[in-house]
Amino acid sequence: MSHQSSMNKADFISSIILTLFGIGVVVESLRLPRLENLNVNAYTVPGIVPGFLGLFLTVAGLAIFVRSIRRGGWKLSLNKDGMRRWLGSAMVMRTAVTVVITMGYAILLFPNVPFWIATPIFIFVFVVATEAMKYGGLPDRKKLLTALVLAIIAGLLINYVFQDLFFVRLPGG
């Protein structure tokens, strides 16, 4: 199988996931409060930015979907060996680790730990995990320290931007 053929198949599958995710974001953004009772400007409601991002993801996913179909990406020719290779691929492993770390943040940390603590933990774990996957082992002390400093600064900066600039109440804030 040529590299281009496998890329077309990956684009086909990825485009479906991206499109569905984008639609999900749009639907959920429409469910956010509109704050009509507070006479809030329609362009400043909480769901406007996620809604536009979801719409963009949906359009981008559909564009990739159409392109992959034109290039034959829909011809998946699935079999046991191909599925086994795909499931064991680095791409699937990276995706699975990303999903597990993100879900851990969303389900375990975010509701139970103050945002200003949970977010640096998430960033640190994510950076260390991606470095470990990229280089096949835990980073050295210098990279761990860099990841820790990056996580603390980014977490505190994100907390500041949302709480003090956007006036968004964050959990534990």
Q: Tens digits of per-residue pLDDT, 90-144?
A: 777 888 899 899 999 988 987 889 989 999 999 999 999 999 988 888 889 999 9
Tell me how far apart the alpha carbons of residues 24 and 26 are, in angstroms, rounded to a whole number.
Answer: 5
pLDDT at res. 29:
87
- Global pTM value: 0.62
Question: Which two three-digit tokens encode residue 147?
Answer: 């990841």
Place of tokens 């990303």: 98
Tell me how far apart the alpha carbons of residues 130 and 150 are, in angstroms, rounded to a whole number.
Answer: 14
Annotated domain spans of the chain: 1-77, 78-173
pLDDT at res. 1:
52
Tell me how far apart the alpha carbons of residues 86 and 124 are, in angstroms, rounded to a whole number.
Answer: 28
What's the average model confidence in pLDDT over 10-25?
88
pLDDT at res. 74:
73
| Beta-strand runs (E) in 28-92 | none
Q: Tens digits of per-residue pLDDT, 27-82?
A: 988 888 777 666 767 666 777 888 899 999 999 999 999 998 888 877 766 667 76
Q: Is the model more confident about 156 or about 33?
A: 156
